[in-house]
Amino acid sequence: MSPNAKDATPPPPPAPLTVAVADSHTHLDMQAGTVEEGLAKAAAVGVTTVVQVGCDLAGSRWAADLAAAHDQVHATVALHPNEAPRIVHGDPDGWSRQGARAPLGDTGLDEALAEIDRLAALPQVKGVGETGLDHFRTGPDGRAAQEKSFRAHIEIAKRHGKALVIHDREAHEDVLRILKEEGAPERTVFHCYSGDADMARVCAAHGYFMSFAGNVTFKNAQPLRDALLAAPEELVLVETDAPFLTPAPYRGRPNAPYLIPVTLRAMAAVRGVTEETLATSVSANTARAFGY
Residue-wise pLDDT tens digits, 109-119:
999 999 999 99
User: Are the CB atoms for 265 and 220 separated by under 8 Å?
Assistant: no
Residue-wise pLDDT tens digits, 2-61:
344 578 999 999 999 999 999 999 999 999 999 999 999 999 999 999 999 999 999 999
**pLDDT score at 139:** 81
Q: In angstroms, rounded to a whole number, what is the distance separating the alpha carbons of residues 198 and 183? A: 21
**pLDDT score at 2:** 37
When pLDDT is averaged across residues 75-95 and rounded to a whole number, the result is 81
Question: Is a pLDDT exceeding 80 seen at residue 142?
Answer: yes
Question: Is a pLDDT exceeding 60 seen at residue 75?
Answer: yes
Our CA angle for 108, 114, 120, nearest 5°, is 140
**pLDDT score at 1:** 33
Residue-wise pLDDT tens digits, 180-192:
999 999 999 999 9
**pLDDT score at 137:** 84
Radius of gyration of the chain (CA): 18
Q: Which residues pair with 168 in a beta bridge?
A: 133
**pLDDT score at 5:** 52
Nearest alpha-carbon partner for 166 in 239, 248, 73: 239
**pLDDT score at 107:** 80
| 3-state DSSP helix/strand/coil % of the chain, to nearest 5 | 45, 15, 40
Q: Is the pTM of this model over 0.75?
A: yes
**pLDDT score at 141:** 84
Give percent above pLDDT 90 in the chain.
Answer: 87
When pLDDT is averaged across residues 150-162 and rounded to a whole number, the result is 98
**pLDDT score at 104:** 64
User: Are the CB atoms for 48 and 282 separated by under 8 Å?
Assistant: no
Residue-wise pLDDT tens digits, 216-255:
999 999 999 999 999 999 999 999 999 999 999 999 999 9
Question: Is a pLDDT exceeding 90 seen at residue 93?
Answer: no
Question: Is a pLDDT exceeding 70 seen at residue 96?
Answer: no
Residue-wise pLDDT tens digits, 129-139:
999 999 988 88
Within 10 angstroms of residue 6's Cβ, the number of other Cβ atoms is 12
User: Are the CB atoms for 216 and 190 separated by under 8 Å?
Assistant: no
All structural domains of the chain, each given as residue ranges with its CATH number in brackets, are 21-278+280-286 (3.20.20.140)
